[in-house]
Structure 1
Amino acid sequence: MSTFLPTSTRVHDAENQNASQQHRRDAGTLFVLKSKGSWIHCGYHLTTSIVSPSLLSLPYALTFLGWKAGIFCLVIGAFVSFYSFNLISLVLEHHAYLGNRHLLYRDMARDILGPRWGRYFVGPIQFAVCYNNEVLCALLGGQCMKAIYLLSNPNGTMKLYEFVVIFGCFMLILAQMPSFHSLRHINLVSSVMCLSYSACATAASIYIGKSSNAPEKDYSLKGDTTNRLFGIFNAIPIIATTYGSGIIPEIQATLAPPVKGKMLRSLCACYVVVLFSFFCVAISGYWAFGNQAEGLIFSSFVDSNKPLAPKWLIYMPNICTIAQLIANGAEYLQPTNVILEQIFGDPESPEFSPRNVIPRLISRSLAVITATTIAAMLPFFGDMNSLIGAFGYMPLDFILPMIFFNMTFKPSKRSPILWLNVVIVIAFSALAAMATISTVRQIVLDAKTYRLFANV
């Protein structure tokens, strides 16, 4: 016994030292990602992250695909995203059962693929996805505010960047929520807003499609063969972005232990909203406007400053979208908040002490102000969003979860799950590569029209 006692003591001391270092490193994570929520709270977070106003671009995506290919891509996107999110949840549950619960996507990649993958691939990509979403929220919020303004005052002189700044001020307030879990009731309201603007957008599209002012319906694909081919690969990242989340581990981190089985219930509740909103908006919008559907379907509801539907039916979805965008922006700020807390926070001081509150207020405010400034300067950010969808959402949501599952559970070579995962990885890797090339081409073509603070 005397031979092993010193060794045991040294091991115990080393474990305590490692635990202390891990505590300091993870303090920022634990400040933001408090594991206190139920599965229904997790469902609210999932719905806000997936059912975002980017779904309002689905009719536009269908203009590049047509009816058959468009509906097929929507169905495949729904199936693969649900399957993928469930796989990543199972991997997270497995590691939590082994006593190593991952709270961040990059930590999960680090432990499964190696430290370089987490630090140099997953971490930067997820940061780009989340911060890109902040910029888009500010831009879309400003566009919705401007649409309401022009409906009530057609001769108004306020510019888009002014509305972007106004929206940024609202987002600035909600960005100060201390943790992801503290957003649960806000995300419940956000989920209701998702259903509301989806229902209103669907109703407005049907009303316009049946009215005498309805545009001529043309469902043919525009352009020559080359443009049609590139159009398909422009549409794919739009759909991937719409179904994407990119923060599934962070959302699952809000669940109170034990986590087993809770995420599946949350996903099922979320996808009831997903299927209703995505398919209703996509089908009704494309049916009403055909290949003339705008990038944001709300823009199709007004022609030369004249509403094609009752004004209240245009006001309502815009107002609901603004409310949901503020919550969506606050949610996607959470992974960024983790990084900021790890840099500027002090784990030895209480979470709400001046030492932690003041740096938190300053760092989060600067993050939102920077995103708002980019949105005001670059209101044509849609092309960049497609690029982020191609090399951001597709790897995080449609490729890596399958790799994580195969490497964690090591299914046999005779298992259909193994080969299904391999096929999905290969197919979406090829699609991501081609979509990236296509979106870069589109950015080059559109570069001639770019100018700062454009009033589009």
Structure 2
Amino acid sequence: FSGGVKVKICGFVQYLNLFGVAIGYTIASSISMMAIKRSNCFYKSGGKNPCRMNANPYMIGFGIAEILLSQIPGFDQLHWLSLVAAVMSFTYSSIGLGLGIGKVIENGKISGSLTGISVGTVTQTQKIWKSFQALGDIAFAYSFSMILVEIQDTIKSPPSEAKTMKKATLISVVVTTLFYMFCGCFGYAAFGDMSPGNLLTGFGFYNPYWLLDIANAAIVIHHVGAYRVSCQPLYAFIEKEAAQRFPDSEFITKDIKIPIPGFRPYNLNLFRMIWRTLFVVLTTVISMLLPFFNDIVRLLGALGFWPLTVYFPVEMYIVQKKIPKWSKRWLCLQILSVACLIITMAAAAGSVAGIVGDLKSIKPFQTSY
């Protein structure tokens, strides 16, 4: 490939993944909103009411919020939203970890085993697929590479943006890994083979119901912010392309200044308003058609992990550092890339198998939980 072709492939994969992430956040937020209502319903009925409900109204509500937030023009005006999302992420992760530790102490033993769910409880084929699906979950947890460069673009210097981001990435990866490892291990230690797909919405925990409400509210707030921040590169790309192709179109290029008392005027762009609104509507409708969160997340993680987090960064590093072909370092990097490709293919296969299973039991726009 020439450099130009690789850039286009990388961009296509990145934007496709961002589109998928928007769908994933919509589904996840609706599940957490339903979990809040269900936990209160269970509490009031003493667990007698199954409290089934439809996800569609919650997805629509989330979509309306994103339509409003999508009108914020760019990254430089999103720092407060990123901060709120980060605090919320820390909040619900801490609650999930705390509840897991508490449940292990309450049980007085560690459930589960080092090899996971045993064959017999599930078939050998199911265990293989579930193992592959778990790889997709892990891959999705490290999908930050999609917006890494976009965030770096907004950082002030000195020190250099690359230096700042290197430090920030190291800290975030270490903290993320520790939290996910602790949450995963203690969640499994608490429930063993009966562990729900999501500790905070799968009702492994029922009490204290108010703490679960706080955790799920934090998830919703986090995803509201994460959706907006994650979609910004895609928004910016489409708007830049449109302005370059139609530089004389006032509909695309003209900003209408709307005065806001006590604040600086808001620049309303008709093209931006309409296209971003349509984007949110489309992701919301697709979410309502495919309302199964775990397998969608796994597939997104699988598809984005190898190209965006491994292959392209490795190739860029080789070119930047002028690493000779067939040298020891070059071979090690290629082995790493191939190993991650195999993991991605396995995770994608498992995720597709999960989605096929979900499609057999879910009716679009109708299924209740």
TM-score by shorter chain over 0.5? yes
2:180 is matched with which residue?
278
Seq. identity, %: 24
1:189 is matched with which residue?
84
Distance 1:177 1:215 in 2: 50
Cα pair 2:31 2:55 within 8 Å, conserved: yes
State the Cα distance separating 1:280 from its structure 2 match.
2.3
Distance 1:273 1:308 in 2: 27
State the Cα distance separating 1:415 from its structure 2 match.
5.9
Deviations 1:304-361 (A, max 9, x none): xxx5321122111111111100110001111220232124447678774469611111
2:223 is matched with which residue?
325
2:124 is matched with which residue?
225
Q: Report the residue type matching 2:344 in the other structure.
A: A
2:5 is matched with which residue?
116
From 307, 310, 315, the counterpart of 1:398: 310
State the Cα distance separating 1:201 from its structure 2 match.
0.6
State the Cα distance separating 1:388 from its structure 2 match.
2.4
Q: Does 1:209 align with 2:104?
A: yes
1:429–1:332 distance in 2 versus 1, CA, 3 Å: same
Cα pair 2:28 2:293 within 8 Å, conserved: no
State the Cα distance separating 1:207 from its structure 2 match.
2.2
User: CA RMSD, aligned part only?
Assistant: 2.7
1:43 is matched with which residue?
none
Segments of 5+ residues of structure 2 without an aligned counterpart are: 43-48, 258-266
Distance 2:313 2:2 in 1: 12
2:277 is matched with which residue?
365
Helix, strand or coil for the counterpart of 2:161? Answer: coil
Q: Does 1:310 align with 2:208?
A: yes
State the Cα distance separating 1:261 from its structure 2 match.
1.4
Distance 1:377 1:342 in 2: 30
Segments of 5+ residues of structure 1 without an aligned counterpart are: 1-111
2:260 is matched with which residue?
none
Helix, strand or coil for the counterpart of 2:363? Answer: coil
TM (norm. structure 1) is 0.68
Cα pair 2:324 2:330 within 8 Å, conserved: yes
Deviations 1:19-69 (A, max 9, x none): xxxxxxxxxxxxxxxxxxxxxxxxxxxxxxxxxxxxxxxxxxxxxxxxxxx
1:144–1:164 distance in 2 versus 1, CA, 3 Å: same
Q: Report the residue type matching 2:334 in the other structure.
A: V
Distance 2:318 2:110 in 1: 50
1:341 is matched with which residue?
239
TM (norm. structure 2) is 0.83
1:238–1:260 distance in 2 versus 1, CA, 3 Å: closer
Cα pair 1:204 1:313 within 8 Å, conserved: no
Distance 1:282 1:376 in 2: 28
2:201 is matched with which residue?
299
Distance 1:253 1:347 in 2: 24
From 253, 262, 266, the counterpart of 2:168: 266
2:18 is matched with which residue?
130
Distance 1:417 1:313 in 2: 49
From 133, 141, 144, the counterpart of 1:234: 133
Deviations 1:185-231 (A, max 9, x none): 2111211111111111111122233336x999333424343332332
Q: Report the residue type matching 2:12 in the other structure.
A: P
Q: Report the residue type matching 1:243 in the other structure.
A: Y
2:28 is matched with which residue?
140
State the Cα distance separating 1:141 from its structure 2 match.
0.7
Distance 1:215 1:234 in 2: 27
Distance 2:83 2:293 in 1: 28
From 420, 430, 438, the counterpart of 2:332: 420
State the Cα distance separating 1:251 from its structure 2 match.
1.9
Q: Report the residue type matching 2:55 in the other structure.
A: L
State the Cα distance separating 1:455 from its structure 2 match.
1.7
State the Cα distance separating 1:442 from its structure 2 match.
3.1
Distance 2:33 2:295 in 1: 21
Cα pair 1:340 1:360 within 8 Å, conserved: no
